[in-house]
């Protein structure tokens, strides 16, 4: 028996990558919309309600419209949304199975799933265990930055970088410097923090790969702890998680001749967690593929849970 899947927003970066994942699955039947009818509401309504799973790879407003197309008596179709529209909506399951012990079961039974943002996934995975374990207080004033590949900016930004000829694109570029990045609400809501981090993202001249670095000093913690203790908290929290690797503390093997490789998780659904520093100050770093675990891979992982498939099906480590 195959699962019928429709991708609403099939031409975007996330939608195209989801199609790549689905094309390798023999247990999936992809329902495609004709190019001329991509914006035809009635055709989208038909395909959404015919599907077992619909992925929404759309801007927030369009995602909300697509959800409204689900028939009132349709309690079968699972909607998996990749926009920011529903990520802090309690009636939607947050699509991060590793978030907490009960999260995976919620995703198995949910009909509405909101896929996390790429920056948010990395930040939440590196802060949630510390808040849940009581080491970091809920009123912690967190500071973090992210460096990411240009694919996170979508098709227009990809085209700008790949066209070449613009020297401004040769180096890293900070953005969202109004400090109101759209991922901030979920960064607070799903870590247990009372306030969002001071967060600055940076786009680099490479296609994909992402790492979020968060800063800590011991006097901000609720009890005495060394960086090694933080690493051990990660290891305990993510024990047996198939897509999370907790790396050895401060080991030379974590670096490439002293430098951190932000692209080392590319083409996987894996998250690597690191702790660097000393007894006076330390940082956590979460690395992932922003098109994989940061977007399309996470969506497929959620689909696998929702349809009762092997959670790891079609996803690389």
* Catalytic annotation, residues: 118
State the DSSP H helix or E strand holding residue 220, giving kind and residue range, or none if neither: none
Tokens of 113: 């799933």
Distance CA 263, CA 312 (A): 21
Distance CA 166, CA 204 (A): 14
Block residue for tokens 């994989």: 292
Tokens of 309: 């498939």
State the DSSP H helix or E strand holding residue 244, giving kind and residue range, or none if neither: strand 244-246
Distance CA 194, CA 141 (A): 9
State the DSSP H helix or E strand holding residue 284, giving kind and residue range, or none if neither: strand 282-288
| Length of the chain in terms of residues written | 317
Distance CA 256, CA 46 (A): 51
Please state, as a whole number, how many other Cβ atoms lie within 10 Å of the Cβ of residue 72.
5
CB burial of residue 107 (10 Å; 0-12, 13-18, 19+): buried
Tokens of 227: 């960086």
Block residue for tokens 């759209």: 182
Distance CA 289, CA 268 (A): 7
CB burial of residue 218 (10 Å; 0-12, 13-18, 19+): middle
HSE-up of residue 293 (Cα within 13 Å, Cβ side):
33
């Amino acid at each position: 028996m195959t699962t019928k899947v429709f991708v609403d927003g099939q031409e975007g970066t996330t939608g195209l990558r989801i199609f790549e994942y689905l094309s390798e699955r023999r247990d999936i039947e992809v329902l495609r919309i004709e190019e001329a009818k991509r914006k035809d509401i009635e055709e989208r309504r038909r395909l959404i309600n015919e599907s077992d799973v619909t992925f929404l790879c759309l801007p927030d407003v369009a995602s909300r419209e697509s959800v409204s197309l689900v028939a009132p008596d349709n309690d079968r179709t699972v909607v998996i949304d990749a926009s920011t529209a529903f990520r802090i909506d309690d009636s939607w399951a947050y699509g991060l199975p590793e978030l907490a012990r009960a999260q995976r079961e919620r995703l198995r039974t949910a009909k509405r799933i909101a896929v996390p943002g790429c920056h948010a996934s990395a930040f939440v995975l590196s802060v949630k265990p510390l808040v849940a374990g009581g080491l970091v207080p809920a009123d912690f004033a967190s500071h973090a930055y992210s460096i990411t590949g240009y694919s996170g900016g979508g098709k227009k930004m990809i085209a700008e970088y790949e066209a070449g000829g613009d020297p401004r694109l040769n180096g890293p570029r900070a953005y969202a410097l109004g400090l109101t990045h759209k991922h901030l609400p979920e960064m607070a809501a799903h870590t247990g923090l009372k306030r969002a981090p001071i967060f600055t993202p940076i786009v680099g001249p490479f296609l994909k790969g992402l790492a979020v670095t968060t800063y800590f000093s011991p006097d901000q913690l609720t009890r005495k702890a060394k960086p090694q203790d933080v690493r051990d908290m990660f290891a305990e929290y993510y024990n047996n998680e198939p897509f999370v690797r907790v790396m050895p503390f401060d080991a030379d093997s974590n670096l490439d001749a002293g430098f951190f490789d932000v692209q080392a998780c590319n083409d996987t659904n894996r998250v690597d967690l690191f702790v660097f520093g000393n007894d006076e100050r330390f940082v956590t770093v979460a690395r992932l593929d922003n098109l994989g675990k940061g977007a399309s891979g996470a969506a497929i992982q959620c689909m696998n849970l929702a349809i009762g498939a092997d959670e790891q099906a079609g996803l690389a480590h």
